[in-house]
Amino acid sequence: MSNSKGEGNSDADGGGRDGGASEGGGEGARARRGKGYRRPRALSPLREHLRDTFWFAPTAAMVLIFVLWTGASALDAAIVRLLQEHQNLAEIDELIRIVNDIKPVVSTVSSAMMTFIGVVFSISLVAVQMASGQFSPRVVRIFVRSRITKLTFAVFLSTFTLSLLVLTSFESEAEARHVTTVPIVQSVLTLLMVALSLFLFIAYVNSTLRLMRVGHVVDRITGECLRVLDRMPRGDFDEALVGPERGRIGYVGQSGVLRDVNIARLVRAAKAQGVVLRLLPRIGDFVVPGTPLLSVHGSGQGDGPTRSALRYTVMVGVERTFHQDLAFGLRQLCDIALRALSHAINDPTTAVLCLDRIVQLLTVLANRPLGAVGHPDGKGEIRLVQDVPSWADLVDLAFAEIRLCAVGSPQVTRRIMAGLDDLLRIAPGERRQPLLRQRELLAQAVMLAVPEAERGFALEPDRQGIG
């Protein structure tokens, strides 16, 4: 029995799609909660999907500015009524004179702001196009997720919306006794929004120029990857306690990249049936309908999770995201390095810059438990097992492709040798073999491709490549 197609939850950006799973059976196994385990936050998938969209922040800002305008309009009307009740007509005439002086400014703002928005949008498109061509198409998501870019567009659109709304509040009636509202508060709010727009425009241009520089892009990718590592659940558990496999649950939904899973919901579904679920594909894998998604473990005879319990548990989209994808940061850094080493660009210094950050990430991972994470329920019993890349997988991802393209560039081979040597000093004994293997493969490639007189120079460790 399986979930029907289309029962999955849609991603916030409209590009992602949820997949369900067909039912399986099994009974739970008891395991002790891993030391240091931190439960993932329940709302994190939604928050991450909203960050990958560009429409949410401007839309929310325009709704908020409409609410603020409504309050300001009511306040203006209340001020006029209060002054009329106390027969302060001179004060009303003064307010009318002030807003009549401000009205041309508000009118100018409403007509010029859309042109201003077009300029900012053009800057964004040029920056995105240049970054995609120079670095990697994967870095486009940095611009999409940029808070300052979203805030700038949100404030600009809100200022334009507010100026139009304020213009509707101006009355042709100029008699203080009969006027119903004088938009003084609304006009002041508009001027404040204009000042905020100018300030954000300066910050936006500065941020965009920074993101067009490879050093800041690489630093941004590294920072996001480190945050993923910090959030990643950790804790050792005994896989023997999971129990034998009793069945498998197939993926049902549209094809795409497995972006993330709702861990809390899967744990609840497994607990309700007394089973242990294991996520078979890793985050970042491409799945199609029928792909084995979950295996059911346990020694009892309980039923598997129901169709409704498995809804909204698997999020599938058109591209990978950082949210739960441990290897995505390394993948982006490798892509930038590989493009820099291509014959069309030939920029080994950028590749060295990427290798600096790759070594940094592997240093953080060197002593962390990898391979699989057990997610417990509230009582500490393992209910979901999620495989993550092993140490050998991450080392191969970090160095294999760059090594193959860097044989003719001594600057890069020297940096790889220095990075491997640093990691060999840090990594525990059981994790040295993948590093030694990459070191030996690099030495063999250099021996075959580099003239004998230059081999020693090409293999000499140097953290700056060629200083």
**Per-position DSSP letters for 280-340, written without gaps between them:** -SPTT-EE-TT-EEEEEE-SS--B---TGGGTT-EEEESS--SSS-TTHHHHHHHHHHHHH
Name the more confident of 208 and 40: 208
Q: Rounded to whole angstroms, what are the CA distances from 23 to 278, 279, 285, 313?
A: 14, 14, 21, 13
Query: For 171-198, how does the pLDDT look when each residue is reduced to its tens digit (9 = 90+)?
Result: 876 777 888 888 999 999 999 999 999 9
pLDDT at res. 53: 80
- Using pLDDT thresholds of 50, 70 and 90, give the confidence band for residue 131: confident
Does residue 26 register a pLDDT over 90?
A: no
For 423-445, write each residue's pLDDT tens digit.
Answer: 999 999 999 999 999 999 999 99
Residue 460: how many other CB atoms lie within 10 Å: 13
Residue 357 has pLDDT above 60, yes or no: yes
